[in-house]
């Protein structure tokens, strides 16, 4: 008996080295090939079946598969030669820990993230995700096949799994997805292996060996092989079946990533989230207005509303039947602070009548042409004494009933009618504060 020739076969029935159906593999390959990658890296590739199919779907891509099993790599080279892909793929026997095979446009890492972690430390998915982010280019794609707990295992279930099994060996699916986002990936597609895929993989993993044991019961390696296969089957059937799952995360690395993979706007620092700038919708066929004076590039001036017709400046003449009717407000006047001087060009705009007459004409009317015309008319009209008034339109006069010896009241505000030229006297309350608005006299500079 030739012992070396009659060795038990290894995984000859399996197409993929994991619980992956043909239909799911086709969808994974389609999403990766749609990005048009120039180079693809398969970490823990085995015999590289998925890598070869991606290269076949993306004709312009080249691939590299790394693994530490020489037998699987030799099988992969044979498959590549049979499919005419030998010149576009390279199978390398080396460790993936700290590999310098990146950066690449696409990475396949199905069930082999432990190859990116320190073997002397517990498996750390966060460390594997950091390595994947380092190896993929911005805007690239990563397909990660990672185990997760479908439900928290009990102590009895852990005891029936692999030696030293612990609940900290894997995470829940939600925690794993959150970790991928925190590591700088966007989970474009999330899917998990079904029960049928698990059963096909687990049965196919031992099928050739079971057939060999039935045909060679007295082989020198039969007892050892039988014990190994029985142990593997028991850990699945009595241990992690229905408890351990595997998810296939198709992740995308943003082109410029800040915190949690958020894309940054140009000039933003890391951690400063980008916020889309609102755009003003334009009507069909409307030409955007030109930028105003001093506007930055790309800044559009807001169109001004049409100017209303100029209003008449003057207040109605005081009624002789009502003493003090010339006052435009019935509110009690606030006393002026002691020693405070009131500028002649300052008036209060809190009165509705005053705001509707003089303040609206001079301060809020967009058309200044009418305001300048009214001031010119008023200044050119003769004063009550018969001489032209060189002073501004507003002048201080004594308030009605005020003592002439006390001097002019700071509350008196006379104005000349811009139409008739006759003077009109009225009083306005004034109180200091930041809400005062200025009424510019005719001789003051206008903005």
Q: How many Cβ atoms sit within 10 Å of the Cβ of residue 129?
A: 26
b/e burial code for range 70-91 (CB count within 10 A of at least 16 → b): eebbebbbebbeeeebeebbeb
Distance CA 183, CA 251 (A): 11
Go through 231-255 and write b for each residue having 16 or more CB atoms within 10 A of its CB, e for each that does not: eeeebbeebbbebbbbbbbbbbbbe
Q: Are strands 89-93 and 104-110 parallel, antiparallel or unpaired?
A: unpaired
Tell me how far apart the alpha carbons of residues 380 and 390 are, in angstroms, rounded to a whole number: 8
H/E run at residue 109: strand 104-110
Tokens of 356: 């509707």
Write out the DSSP string of 132-145: HHHHEEEEEEEEEE
Q: What is the pLDDT at residue 12?
A: 78
pLDDT at position 255 is 86
Which of 147, 76, 65 lies closest to 106, judged by CA?
65
Structure token digits, residue 440:
């510019």
Torsion angle of alpha carbons 127, 132, 137, 140, nearest 10°? -130
Cα dist. 365→179, 310, 313, 358, 446 in Å? 60, 7, 11, 10, 13
pTM: 0.59
Q: What span, in angstroms and rounded, lies between the C-alpha atoms of 102 and 135?
A: 5
Main-chain phi, psi angles of 333, to 5 degrees: -75, 140
Question: Phi, psi at residue 216, to the nearest 5°?
Answer: -130, 65
Torsion angle of the four alpha carbons 111, 116, 120, 125, in this order, in degrees rounded to the nearest 10: -70
The residue among 370, 351, 348 whose CA lies nearest residue 439 is 348
Per-residue pLDDT of the chain (447 residues), as tens digits, is 455 557 777 787 899 999 999 999 999 999 999 999 999 999 999 999 999 999 999 999 999 999 999 999 999 999 999 999 999 999 999 999 999 998 999 999 999 999 999 999 999 999 999 999 999 999 999 999 999 999 999 999 999 999 999 999 999 999 999 999 999 999 999 999 999 999 999 999 999 999 999 999 999 999 999 999 999 999 999 999 999 999 999 999 998 644 444 444 444 433 344 444 455 554 444 455 555 555 555 555 555 666 655 554 444 444 444 444 444 444 444 454 554 444 444 444 444 444 444 444 444 444 454 455 445 444 444 445 544 444 444 444 444 544 445 455 554 555 565 566 666 554 445 445 454 444 444 444 444
- Measured between alpha carbons, how far is 231 from 328 in angstroms, rounded to an integer? 102
């Amino acid at each position: 008996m030739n012992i070396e020739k009659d060795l038990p076969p290894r995984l000859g029935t399996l197409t993929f080295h994991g619980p992956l159906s043909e239909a799911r593999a086709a969808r994974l390959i389609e999403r990766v090939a749609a990005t048009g990658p120039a180079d693809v890296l398969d970490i823990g590739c085995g015999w590289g079946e998925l890598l070869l199919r991606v290269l076949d779907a993306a004709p312009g891509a080249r691939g590299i598969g790394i693994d530490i099993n020489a037998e699987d790599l030799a099988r992969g080279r044979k498959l590549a030669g049979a499919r005419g892909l030998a010149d576009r793929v390279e199978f390398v026997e080396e460790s993936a820990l700290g590999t310098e095979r990146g950066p690449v446009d696409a990475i396949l890492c199905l069930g082999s993230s432990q190859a990116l972690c320190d073997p002397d430390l517990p498996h750390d998915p966060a460390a594997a995700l950091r390595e994947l982010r380092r190896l993929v280019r911005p805007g690239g794609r990563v397909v990660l096949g990672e185990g997760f707990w479908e439900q928290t295992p009990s102590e009895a279930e852990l005891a029936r799994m692999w030696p030293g099994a612990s609940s900290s060996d894997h995470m829940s699916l939600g925690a794993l997805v959150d970790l991928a986002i925190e590591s700088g990936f966007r989970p474009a597609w999330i899917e998990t292996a079904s029960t049928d895929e698990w059963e096909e993989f687990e049965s196919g993993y031992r099928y050739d060996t079971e057939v060999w044991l039935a045909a060679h019961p007295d082989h020198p390696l039969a007892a050892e092989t039988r014990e190994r296969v029985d142990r593997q089957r028991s850990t699945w059937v009595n241990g992690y079946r229905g408890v351990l799952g595997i998810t296939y995360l198709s992740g995308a690395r943003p082109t410029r990533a800040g915190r949690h993979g958020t894309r940054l706007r140009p000039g933003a620092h890391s951690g400063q989230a980008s916020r889309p700038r609102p755009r003003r919708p334009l009507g069909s066929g409307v030409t955007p207005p030109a930028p105003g004076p001093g506007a930055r590039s790309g800044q559009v001036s807001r169109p001004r509303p049409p100017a209303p017709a100029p209003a008449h400046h003057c207040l109605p003449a005081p009624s002789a039947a009502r003493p003090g009717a010339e006052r435009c407000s019935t509110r009690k006047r606030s006393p002026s602070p002691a020693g405070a001087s009131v500028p002649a060009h300052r008036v209060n705009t809190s009165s509705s009548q005053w705001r509707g007459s003089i303040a609206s004409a001079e301060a809020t009317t967009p058309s200044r042409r009418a305001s300048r015309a009214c001031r010119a008319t008023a200044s050119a009209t003769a004063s009550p004494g018969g001489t032209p008034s060189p002073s501004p339109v507003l002048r201080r006069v004594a308030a009605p009933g005020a003592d002439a010896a006390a001097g002019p009241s700071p509350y008196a505000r006379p104005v000349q009618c811009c139409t008739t030229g006759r003077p009109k006297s009225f009083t306005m309350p004034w109180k200091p504060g930041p809400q005062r608005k200025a009424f510019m006299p005719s001789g003051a500079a206008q903005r």
